[in-house]
Structure 1
Amino acid sequence: MLTVDFDRLGVKPGDRAIDIGAGAGRHSFELYRRGADVTAFDRSADDMKAVAEMFAAMELEGEVPADARACAEVGDALELPYADETFDVVLISEVLEHVPQDVRAIEELTRVLKPGGVAAITVPRWFPEKICWALSDAYHEVEGGHIRIYKADELAAKLTAAGLTIRGRDHAHALHAPYWWLKCAVGVDNDDNVLTKAYHKLLVWDLMHKPWLTRSLESVLDPVMGKSVVFYVEKPVVPVAAR
C-alpha cells in the first residue's frame, strides 16, 4: 500500500533516493523497482535486516533494473549520517507524527536533499486522526506512538521554514479511515471483532485486486476523508551569486 504517488514525485532511474523511517520497506521497494539507487533508513535493526533480505530477493527475481542499487541502514532521523546535498529524492512517510523534534527531522531531510531535488512528506490527516484520538486513548498512548495531530497548514509552514518549496498536496487512503475508526471504537487490540475482521479482508482484497469500483470510490473520497496528507516539495536551486 503506497501513500506516495511516485509518478507525481517524478522518480527517475539512477536517482539517489532515501526512505527515512522506511519501516517494512513499502516505499523503498517501489523506489528500487523504478531504478533508483535507494537507501532504506530506519532506527529498527530488525526491520532493516528484513528489508535488506527483500532487496536481495527482488534482485534475484529480476524485479529491478540491472543497474539499480539498494541498501538498508540503521540510524537516527535527527542525525542522518550523510553529507549535505547527497540525495535526489527523499521520502519520509508517516514518521513525523512520532518524532518529538519534528523540526530537526525536517531540517535534516532538507540538508541531505540536493538543490533541485524532490521530497514527499506524509503524515496522518487532522480530521481522521482527531476521530481516532477521541475514540481511543490506546490508539496513541503507546510507546513510540503518535505524539501530535498535524493540521496541514502547520506542517506546510514547517516545511517552508526549512527552505523547501511546496509543489503539491494530496490525500490518500480514504477507505482506511473508517477501518481505524472502527478499530478505535471496539478496541485497537481487539483482533477478534467480526466487523473489523471483515473490513480488513475488504482492504486486503482491494489491495490485491485493485477493482475499478473501490479505486474510483477512494479517489472521490480522498479529498474528503483521506487518512493521510501528502506534501510534494522541492529544494530550490540557489544561484551561485547568491551563495
Structure 2
Amino acid sequence: MITIDFARLEIRSGDRILDMGCGEGRHMVEACRIPHTVCIGADFGYDNLKTTREKLAFHQALNDLACARFDLSRMDVTRLPFKNDCFDAVICSEVLEHIPDDETAISELVRILKPGRILAVSVPRFYPEKICWHLSDDYTAADMGHVRIYRKKELVKKITDHPMTFLGSHFAHSIHTPYWWLKCLVGVNRSNAFLVNLYHRLLVWDMMKKPKVTRFLDRLFNPLLGKSRVLYFRKQTSDLT
C-alpha cells in the first residue's frame, strides 16, 4: 500500500533516501527498487524494523531490489543522528500525527534534507480522522496513539516556516476509509466482527493483487474519501526567496 507518489520525489541514480517511520516497509521496498540508491529505513518500533527486514530479504530473494545498499535503524524523529543536508529525498508517512513535539520532528526532517530536494509527508486527512475520533475512544490509542488531527493549512505552515516551498498535495486510500469507520463503530479491538473481517480480506486482496477495478475506484473516490493527505515540499536553496 504505497501512499507517496515516488514519481514526484525526483530521485536519481546514486541518491540517498530516508524513510523516516518506515513501519512495516511498504515505502522501503519501493525505494529499494530504484537503481543504485542508498536507502535508509528508520522507525521507533523494533518490531516494525524486524518486519521490514523480513520483507526486504524476501524481495532480495526474488531479485526484486536494485538499490546499491539499504540499512535499517531504530531512531527518534526528534533526534536524528545525521549531518545537515545529507539526504536527497526524505519520506515521512503517517508519522507526525503520533509525535507530541511535531515542530522539532519537522525541523529535523528539514535539517537533514539537501537544498533543492524533496520532502514527502503524509498524515490522516482531517474529516475521515475526525469521524474515527468521534466513533471510538480506543482509536486514538492504536499504533502508539494519534495525538492530533492536522488541517492542510496548519501542516503546510508548520513546514514552510522552515526554508521549504510547498509543491502540492493529493489524497490516497479512499477504499480504506469506510473500513476504519466500520472498525471504530464496532470496536477497534474487536476481532470477531464479520463485516470488518470481510472488508479486511478485501483490502488485503487489493494490496496483493492490485486489480484494476479497485485501483480505479480508489482514484475515483480519493477527492471525497481519501484517508491520507500527501504533501510535497522542496527545500529552498540560497538563490530562492
Range of TM-score over shorter length? over 0.9
State the AA in 2 paired with 1:31. Answer: A
Instruction: Tell me the residue number matched to 1:58.
Output: 59
Instruction: Tell me the residue number matched to 2:163.
Output: 163
Instruction: Tell me the residue number matched to 1:104.
Output: 104
Q: Deviations over 1:110-146 (max 9, x none)?
A: 0000001111100000010000000000101358200
The TM-score, its normalising length taken from structure 1, stands at: 0.93
Q: 1:142 to 1:60 in 2, by over 3 A?
A: closer
CA distance in 2, matches of 1:141, 1:127: 18
RMSD, matched Cα: 1.7
Instruction: Tell me the residue number matched to 1:38.
Output: 39
Q: Deviations over 1:57-96 (max 9, x none)?
A: 433432122x521000112110100000000000000000
CA distance in 2, matches of 1:46, 1:214: 30
Which 10-residue stretch deviates more, 133-142 or 81-90? 133-142
Whether 1:74 aligns to 2:71 is: no
- Pairwise CA distance, 1:56: 3.9
Instruction: Tell me the residue number matched to 2:184.
Output: 184
Instruction: Tell me the residue number matched to 2:22.
Output: 22
4+ long deviations beyond 4 Å: none
Q: Deviations over 1:200-239 (max 9, x none)?
A: 1111122222222221111111011100000011101113
Q: 1:186 to 1:80 in 2, by over 3 A?
A: same
Percent identity (aligned): 44
- Pairwise CA distance, 1:53: 4.2
State the AA in 2 paired with 1:55. Answer: L
Which blocks of at least 5 consecutive residues in structure 2 are unaligned?
Answer: none
Instruction: Tell me the residue number matched to 1:219.
Output: 219
Structure 2 counterpart SS, 1:140: helix
CA distance in 2, matches of 1:158, 1:60: 41
Q: 1:183 to 1:215 in 2, by over 3 A?
A: same
CA distance in 2, matches of 1:92, 1:108: 11
Instruction: Tell me the residue number matched to 1:196.
Output: 196
- Pairwise CA distance, 1:47: 2.5
CA distance in 2, matches of 1:197, 1:46: 23
Q: 1:181 to 1:30 in 2, by over 3 A?
A: same
Equivalent runs, 1:139-154 vs 2, <5 Å: 139-141=139-141, 144-154=144-154
Contact 1:55–1:71 (CA<8 Å) still a contact in 2?
Answer: no
The TM-score, its normalising length taken from structure 2, stands at: 0.94
CA distance in 1, matches of 2:68, 2:142: 38
State the AA in 2 paired with 1:71. Answer: D
Instruction: Tell me the residue number matched to 2:95.
Output: 95
Structure 2 counterpart SS, 1:175: helix
- Pairwise CA distance, 1:46: 3.1
CA distance in 1, matches of 2:145, 2:19: 20
Q: 1:132 to 1:110 in 2, by over 3 A?
A: same
State the AA in 2 paired with 1:92. Answer: C
CA distance in 2, matches of 1:194, 1:58: 33
Aligned residue pair count: 240
Contact 1:121–1:230 (CA<8 Å) still a contact in 2?
Answer: yes
CA distance in 1, matches of 2:206, 2:193: 20
- Pairwise CA distance, 1:9: 2.2
Instruction: Tell me the residue number matched to 1:231.
Output: 231
Structure 2 counterpart SS, 1:34: coil
Q: 1:172 to 1:143 in 2, by over 3 A?
A: closer
